[in-house]
Amino acid sequence: MTTLTHDDTHVAPTVKSSRGLMFALLSALSFGGSGALGRGLIELGWTPGAAVFYRILVASLALSIPTALALRGRWHLLRQDARLVVAYGLVAVAGTQLFYFNAVQTMPVAMALLVEYAAPIAVVAFLWVRHGQRPSRTTVVGAVVAIVGLGLVLDLLSGASVDVAGMTWALLATCGAAVYFILSAQETHLPPLVLAGAGLWVGAVAMGLACATGVVPYATATGTVDFSVGDVPWWIVLLVLGLVTAALAYATGIAAARALGSRVASFFALMEVLFSLMFGAILLGQQPGLLQLAGGILILGGVVLVKLGEPVPELEPTIPDPV
């Protein structure tokens, strides 16, 4: 264990925060491509449940060997943190996506996504009630600004009817997303990559059972996916969906939450909406309007305010690198 000097105590939190922001940005960018890629498969004939299942399964397979290497024979760590791994896989991975896709069956996709992305507010409330971490005034203002910006990005000013059943599923998705950020920031001896890999396997099994039992409609198709940039074989789309928007996204998301804390990481993840708009414009030809661009600026401002509202971190224990 390296001994920290007086100067190191001031540098270490800054370096950790910078690394965390980098991981958070990469995670948001990776997650952001899932909507456009998934939409392509759905238009080809896939059901949302099938796309989610294979997305998680591909990610699980991709992280299997790296996860085993990261453990380096320390398989007892999985037994020690079995509850965390199972909760992460069932709720943060499978549950959240299952709830969301159930929500969009009976309510507008934009409204369901907006409700789910109220998760940062749930994280702040949980940390306040459960751990007494009262948010600063700046954090509260940042939360409000970010949520208003998200509403503009999703273009909900035209109004939309709210379905009670759909709203219930969307609220469950909100809880699942909040659990994702909270569990990702939990102290554990598991490297971030191990938690992501093991959790994805739990999620893959859960989604597989959901599809097999008919809880989630299941159908697939072969052929080429028609994107604005050209036709792409379905299997390439599926590989990118699993390797980039799931395996890479979850691993970097956990690393970001451990470095930044669940509150800041959850707000920074709102950037996923902006990247979704970007990929939608490139792959699907969906151009954002002026109100959506204004909303993006508000989201960025809200994230900055939340970061400024965080207390100056004290020196924290070293978190294993995502090897």
Length of the chain: 323
Residue 131 has pLDDT above 70, yes or no: yes
Average pLDDT rounded to a whole number, residues 195-214: 90
Residue with tokens 């509850």: 83
156-191: per-residue pLDDT in tens?
Answer: 665 555 577 877 888 888 888 888 778 777 777 888
What pLDDT shows up at residue 318?
A: 33
208 burial level (CB within 10 Å; 0-12, 13-18, 19+) = middle
Please report which confidence band the pLDDT of residue 154 belongs to, taking 50, 70 and 90 as the band edges: low
Residue 10 has pLDDT above 50, yes or no: no
State the Cα–Cα distance between residues 321 and 251, nearest whole angstrom: 11
Sorted by sequence, the CB contacts under 8 Å of residue 92 that are 6+ apart come out as 176, 177, 179, 180, 183, 184, 199, 203
304 contact partners, CB below 8 Å, separation of at least 6: 142
Which one of 139-153, 165-179, 249-263, 302-316 scores highest in mean pLDDT? 165-179
Please tell me the predicted confidence (pLDDT) of residue 151: 72
Phi and psi at residue 168, to the nearest 5°: -60, -45
The distance from CA 292 to its chain's CA centroid, rounded to whole angstroms, is 21
Averaged pLDDT, 281-288: 78
* CA 96, chain centre distance (Å): 10
Percent of the chain with pLDDT over 90: 15
Instruction: Choose the weakest-confidence range: 8-17, 111-120, 248-257.
Output: 8-17
Q: Measure the CA–CA gap between 94 and 91, rounded to whole angstroms.
A: 6
For position 12, what pLDDT does the model report?
55
Most confident of 60-74, 224-238, 247-261, 309-323: 224-238
Give the separation between CA 321 and CA 222, rounded to whole angstroms.
39
Q: Which amino acid is at 53?
A: F
Percent of the chain with pLDDT over 70: 81
- Which tokens hold the place of 223? 């052929």
Q: Which of 78-92, 102-116, 170-184, 301-315 has the highest mean pLDDT?
A: 78-92
Is the pLDDT assigned to residue 235 strictly greater than 70? Answer: yes
- What is the reported pLDDT for 237? 94
Residue 99 banded pLDDT, cuts 50, 70, 90: confident
Helix (H), strand (E) at residue 218: none
Is the separation of the CB atoms in 39 and 281 below 8 Å?
Answer: no
Distance, CA of 50 to CA of 217 (rounded, Å): 7
Say what the pLDDT of residue 86 is: 92
CA-CA distances (angstroms) from residue 118 to 122, 136, 166? 7, 18, 15
Question: What pLDDT, on a 0 to 100 scale, did the predictor assign at position 220?
Answer: 93
**Continuous segment of H or E residues that includes residue 29:** helix 6-32
Distance, C-alpha 166 to centroid of its chain: 21
Structure-block tokens of residue 98: 């299952």
Residue type, 137: R
Q: Does 314 score more than 70 pLDDT?
A: no
Residue 322 pLDDT grade (very low, low, confident, very high; cuts 50, 70, 90): very low
The pLDDT mean for the chain works out to 78
Using DSSP's 3-state secondary structure scheme, residue 300 falls into helix
Query: Which strand (E) or helix (H) includes residue 310?
Result: none
Summarize the confidence of residues 72-88 as an average pLDDT: 86
Cβ contact 51:220 at 8 Å: no
Residue 30 contacts residue 197 (beta carbons within 8 Å) = no
Alpha-carbon span 30 to 196, nearest angstrom: 14
Phi-psi map region of 184: left, alpha, beta (phi>0 left; psi -120 to 50 alpha): alpha
Pairwise pLDDT comparison (11 vs 197), residue with the higher score: 197
Give the pLDDT band of residue 284 (cuts 50, 70, 90): confident
Residue written as token pair 């896939």:
46
Q: Where are the beta strands (DSSP E) in the chain?
A: 224-227, 230-233
CA distance between the termini of the chain = 18
Is the model's pLDDT at 11 over the cut of 50?
A: no
Q: How many CA atoms lie within 13 A of 304 on its CB side?
A: 6
d(CA 22, CA 180): 19
Predicted pLDDT at 311:
60
